[in-house]
Every structure is written in C-alpha cells, then in structure tokens.
Structure 1
Amino acid sequence: MAVLDIKFTKTQRERLHRCVVLAVFANLLIGFILFFMGVFVSFVITTKLRFDEGSLFGLVFRTMTLYGLYVFAHNLVGVKLCYNYFHYAEGPGMNLRLFVWTLLGLSVVLTGCFMASICFSTADLLAVQLRQTLLEGMKKYFTDVSWKRRIDNMQIGMQCCGIDSSDDWHKTYWLQREFLVLDSPDILRYAKLDGRVTPPVVPWSCCRIDVKGPCYHDPLQLPNPEQNSTYESVNPRGCLAAMKTVLNGTLYSTAVLIAFLFVLQVLVSVLSRFDFTAARNAVALGDRWAASPGWLFGRLDFGLASGPNLCQIDRKNSGRGDSMIDLRPLVYSSDTD
C-alpha cells in the first residue's frame, strides 16, 4: 500500500519539480553564506589578534566554514540528482541514490541544529577568550612587535581603544620602566608598590580620526596634565564591544540560517520523494510525461511488489474505478535498488 499517494498531472509534476529545485538552491545558498561568514570572521579577527593553535575561536569558525562547505557541496550534488531522476527516473540505482542523499542531508541538518543550540553559550565563551587575548596583547604591546602591529591595526580599523574603554590601558602594565624617566614627579605618582608604573597614557592608535585637532593620548607630555582633552580625542568604545558585534551577529545569524536550513531540508526530503516516484511511475505506466501518482513510499520502492499495482492506484486516484490489470510481472531496474 502506498503512503500518501497523490495523483499529479503533467503541469503539477513540473511545478513540483521546480519547487524541489528552488528549495535545493536555497539550501545551496545557505551553505555558501555559512562558508563565507566562517571565512570572513576568521580573516577579520585573526588578522587583528593572535590565537593559540586549537583555541576555541579557531575551532568554532573552522567548523562553521567546513559545515557551510559541506552543505554547499551536498546541495550542488542534489541539483544534479534532481535533474537526473526527473528525466531518467528509471535509471539503475536512482531510488537508492536519492534515499542516501536524503539521509545524508537530514543527518547534516540535525548536526547543524546542535550547532545552532549552542551558539548563544559559545558567544559568551568567545567573549571571555577575546578579553583574555586582548589583555595579553596589551601587556606585550612594547615588547612584541607583532602584537604592537596587530593592536594598532585593530584600534585604527575598528576605531576602538582598550578592552572595554581607554581606561584599560591605564590599568595595564604595558609601559615598562626602561621607557620612563623614573625620577620625574609625574611618573612617581603612578608608581605601584611592586615597582610597576601605570600612567594614564594610551597608544597613538587610540586617537579618533574624526577629530580636527591634536590627540591628547599622552597627557604627561602636556604643559598641564590635569587639564587635558583625552576623552574627547580618544576613541571611547572598547575593542571587545566592536568584536562582539561581529561575533554575535555571525553566531546568531548562523542559528537563524540553520533553522531555515532544517525547514527546507525536511521540505526537500518530502517533495523530492513525490517528485521522483511520480516521474518513475509515469515511465512505468508507459508515458514519461503523462499524469501519474506519486507517494512517500510504495510499490516499486526497494523491490516492494505487494499491494495494488500502478494501474489500480492510478485509476483509483482518477476516480474511474479499479483496474484488474496487474503489473507485477514487470520488473524495472529500480525494483532492485
């Protein structure tokens, strides 16, 4: 007995096929977007910060990139498969190929649903890692040329300063003693008991580019350090907030895209079965482009030969009564799939 058998006219079959192909193309587009977002965010962040091998950041966005690439490749194969079964539904192994492709698609989408479910917690963990990495870079600003270049490029490119604000530079020991005149009364005021000195100075890359005038990023060099315009000429936004905008936007968009991907994949799985079985049954009934019944599972699927034959199903759906013609002796190559 066929499960959900529906009679499709030639026009309805063509419309159904177009719907399947459009849904597959939509999945293909989602895969490309996921791949692009993974590559883009990895490029944007890793060019500004340096992460350890095997860090959470690298794991998350490499996984996103590979996942998007697989979704893209899977649906690219699906476009070709849909064309083949619509025009050559009686081809050897066509039923099995569609079944395997559908199972792989559903398994990948379920994996994506797990990824989407942890996007929000992952965003929080990435924010913690970014904070730690930024702090490490700030401490090594004057001792590591690579870090200095990265921090400067980040603060200029993102128009930000420090982690949460420019005050983070005032609290971080990044100006080593050998760079300071230790007997200066201004410097001694900011000396700690352990010998560290944290004056209210920020790197030049914190300066705002939209301010017409001097940048007071080093008030100690002003005639009157107590009366300066530091907060007017220095970027007020922290770099963590700027990076979180990119990361959270990407991760939350990923969750939404995977939700759409799940709905589309379920739709493709159902409609492609109707599309394929209707095309195959039309061939079995003697006219490739004629009206024919389609179903989710029934006669001729994986060798099934029990229940009403195709003519009986076709006549029943057409409302013209049952036919006693039996197609059981007919063996098609798809019967052995």
Structure 2
Amino acid sequence: MAWGVFTLSRDGRARLAGVLRALLIAQLVVSLCMVIFCYNTSLRVMLLLKHIHKVTVVLLYGLILCQAYGMKLHYTGGLRLIAVMLKCPHWKRATLVSSVWLLSGSLVAANGMLVYLACRGTLKALMKELSSSLRIGISQYLTEPTWKSLLDTMQVELSCCGAEKPTDWHEIPWINMDFLNEGSDLVMKLAGADGKVLPPVSPYSCCTPRVLAPCYHDPLQQSEWREVWSEASPLLSASLHTRGCVEAVRAPLTRALLALQFFNMLVCLFQVLIVVLTQLLRTSAREAVLRGDCGGTGRGVLLGSLAVQAPQKPSPCSSPEELAAGSSTSAGPAPRTCCASWAQRRRRRHPCIRTKTSYPYLS
C-alpha cells in the first residue's frame, strides 16, 4: 500500500534536488537571521543586565547560539547528502543515512521550539528578579557606587526611571539624613524614625531630553522653582522619563522572543517540506536503480512501498556488445547498466543491479 506516488525522471529528480538545496540554504539564512536579530535587539539590555544576572544572560544567549549552530551543521551536511543521492543512487547506505539525517533535522526543528519555551520561561523569571533587584539598588543608590553607576547608566540609555514606575524613587527610602541639612524644618518633617527621608526627589538620570524645559527632579536643591512643586505643575512628570526600567528591559527582550518564535516556526515549516521532498527523491532514485536504469524514471512514494517494475527494454546506457547479447537470447543475463559501470570505475567491486532480491538493503 503506497500513498503519494509521483513518477520522476532523471531531470525531475535533478530539479527536485535543486528545490531541496534552496530550502537548505533558506534554513541557513534563517539561522543566521535568528542570531543577528536576537543579538542586535537585546545587546544593550544584556550588557546592562550582565552585572546583575550574569548566569541568566549567558543562558539566554547560549541557548540561541547552540540552536543556530546545530541548524548550520545539519543543513550543510544535507547539501552533501543530496549530491551523493543524485550521483550514487545505488549507494547501499542511502536509506539509512537519509533516514538518520531527516530524523536529526526534525529533532533540531523541535528543539528550536523547546529553546523558545525555555527562553520565555527564563525571561519571565528574569523580570520578577529584576524588579526586586532594582528596588534593592534604589535603596542603596547613595551607599553603593556600583548600583549608582548601573542605575544611572540604565536610566539614561534605556530612557527609563525607577523600577516599575518613576515614583519608585519617592516610595523607596534611599536618602539618609547624613546627606541633608538636619536643621531644615522640611527635612525634619519628611524624616522617618530610621533616619531615612522620603522627599519627592529623583536622580538627574531620570530627566528626559525630549522636553524643552528645566528638569524638575529635586525640590530640595532646586529652590528657585519651588513654586512648581507647590502648584503641582504638569511639568513635574513631563520632565522625567515616564516608564520604569523593568518595562524598558522587557520590551526589547520580548521582541527578540517573538522573533525567535517566528524563526523557529519557519524552520519547522521548511523541515516538513524537506522531509517530503527528500523522501520522494530517495524512493524515486531507489526504484530507478532496482529497475536497472539509474538515469531512468522512478516512482517516488511518501508512505508505503511499491512493487518494483521490471524494465521493458534494455538500458540506453548499455554497451553495443551487451545490446547484441541481449537481443540474441531472451534467457540470457540482463545487460549491465550505468550504475554498475560507475561502481566499477569507483571501487571495482559492485555487481550490476538486476532485481530487488539482488540488493536486499534497498528493500
């Protein structure tokens, strides 16, 4: 019982091999685009996060690079296999090697979806950890130079302010009494029992350059604009970045994750086409060999097996002596084919292919 039977000539198999090569090259291009896009989209963010969550950053990049390199190795090997299947259709290991290659390619494509799921889960965990890490960094902004440098760099380069929102700087105690004038009535009014002060002050790195107005970020030091705070002017929020740094980090990583999903779905689609076309090419070349004419027509089948049809006339690539011998008696041996002559030139040990029982490894 066979399903999906197609009769292919030698030229038809050559054209089919050309389509397969184009699909393999497309796979290589997809793997390259996946690495380049994901790398360029998340590079700035990853360079900042490597000081906080280095292991997570290495894991995300490592998964994507390993997947792309596995695709490269698999599909470059496929280009060589297609050439061998065209030139040596009687190769006794063609069925085994092509089956192993198709299985490994399917595993590579399936692994791409697993890599996407792993990256998505890692990104969710990273966002939760990043929020708590940034809040700790805000509380240590004036006591740990490393946190101050990292937060300032992140807020300037990613155009963000605070962890989840700009008002995090007003809710998390990060200014000690030691940095302020303890004799000030305002300072003493805002001071807590732990010696921390919660004024509506943000670092200068929260200021946005998109507003053509002074940056109102510190009412304690910008006393000349104190009336702006007393009037609750809209310039207060407009002069600062409006999104939190967690969202600024999530946005490019989400784009990279969506691109990873798209490229892996494309890989899976290409892999289905490669499996179908490779099966047709292999079975068509195999039947042509079993019929005694490597350059003749052969039926390719997607599922199942076909009964081998005996050749109706001598192979066109037989020698004149063999044609004469074949015409003199019908009970004589079948003429040698191009496949056998090619094998003799290569190894001097392959017999001429006559029937299916002569080559049980092709059954």
Q: Quote the Cα distance in structure 2 between the aligned partners of 1:145 and 1:111.
A: 42
The one-letter code matched in structure 2 to 1:308 is A
**Per-residue displacement from partner, 1:38-92 (whole Å, max 9, x unpaired)?**
544563223112234544x543443233222222332222223223323333345
Equivalent position of 2:74 in the other structure: 74
Could you say which residue in structure 1 is the equivalent of 2:299? Answer: 293
Letter in 1 for 2:218: D
Alignment CA distance shift 1:51-1:68 (3 Å): farther
Give me the whole-angstrom Cα distance separating, in 1, the residues matched to 2:312 and 2:241. 74
Q: Is the 8 A contact 2:166 2:244 kept in 1?
A: yes
Separation (CA, whole Å) in 2 of partners of 1:79 and 1:88: 14
119-128 or 197-206, which moves further after superposition? 119-128
Q: Retained in 2: the 8 A contact 1:34–1:67?
A: no
> Any residues of structure 2 matched to 1:138-149 within 5 Å, and which?
138-149=138-149
1:26 corresponds to: 26
When Rg is computed on C-alpha atoms for both structures, the one with the higher figure is 2
Counterpart CA distance in 2 for 1:160 and 1:184 is 31
Distance 1:163 1:210 in 2: 21
The alpha carbon displacement at 1:258 in A equals 2.0
SS at match of 1:6: strand
For residues 132 and 282 of structure 2, what CA distance do their matches in structure 1 show? 54
| CA distance in structure 2 between the aligned counterparts of 1:33 and 1:280, rounded to whole angstroms | 36
> Aligned partner of 1:225: which letter?
R
Contact 2:42 2:253 in 1 (8 A): no
Cα gap change, 1:28/1:311 in structure 2, threshold over 3 Å: closer, same or farther? farther
Q: Residue 208 of structure 1: SS of its match in structure 2?
A: coil
> Which residue identity is paired with 2:300?
G
Q: CA deviation at 1:265?
A: 1.2
Amino acid at match of 1:254: L
Alpha carbons 1:2, 1:297 under 8 Å: kept: yes
For the Cα contact (< 8 Å) 1:155–1:161, is it kept in 2? yes
How far did 1:7 drift?
Answer: 0.6
Kept in 1: contact 2:141–2:174 (CA 8 A): yes
| Preserved contact between residue 170 and residue 199 of structure 1 (Cα < 8 Å) | yes
In structure 1, the residue matched to 2:359 is: 331
Q: 1:16 offset after TM fit, Å?
A: 2.1
Shift of 1:298: 6.6
For the aligned residue pairs, the C-alpha RMSD in angstroms reads 3.3
Question: In the alignment, residue 192 of structure 1 is paired with which amino acid?
Answer: G
Moved more, 112-121 or 29-38: 112-121
Partner residue in 2 for 1:51: 52
5+ long unaligned stretches in structure 2: 230-234, 314-333, 335-353
Match of 1:225 in 2: 226
Distance 1:291 1:329, change over 3 A: same
Which residue of the partner structure matches residue 311 of structure 1? 310
Percent of counterpart pairs with the same letter?
27
TM superposition shift of 1:329 = 5.2
Q: 1:196 is aligned with what amino acid?
A: K
Partner letter of residue 238 of structure 2?
E
Instruction: Give the letter aligned to residue 24 of structure 1.
Output: L
The Cα of 1:128 is off from its aligned counterpart by 1.4
**TM-score, normalised via structure 1 length:** 0.80
Question: Taking CA–CA contacts closer than 8 Å with sequence separation of 6 or more, which of the two structures ends up with the larger relative contact order?
Answer: 1
Alpha-carbon contact 1:41-1:61 (below 8 Å) kept: no
CA distance in 2: counterparts of 1:30 and 1:133, whole angstroms: 36
**Structure 1 residues 58 and 128: alpha-carbon distance in aligned structure 2, compared to 1, 3 A threshold:** farther
Deviation string 1:167-221 (CA, Å, 9 cap, x unpaired) is 1111223334432223322322322232212222222211112233432222221
Instruction: Report what 2:328 is aligned to.
Output: none
CA distance in 1, matches of 2:208, 2:266: 41
Q: Which residue of 1 aligns with 2:175?
A: 175
CA contact (8 A) 1:17 1:275 kept: yes
Q: Is the 8 A contact 1:208 1:233 kept in 2?
A: yes
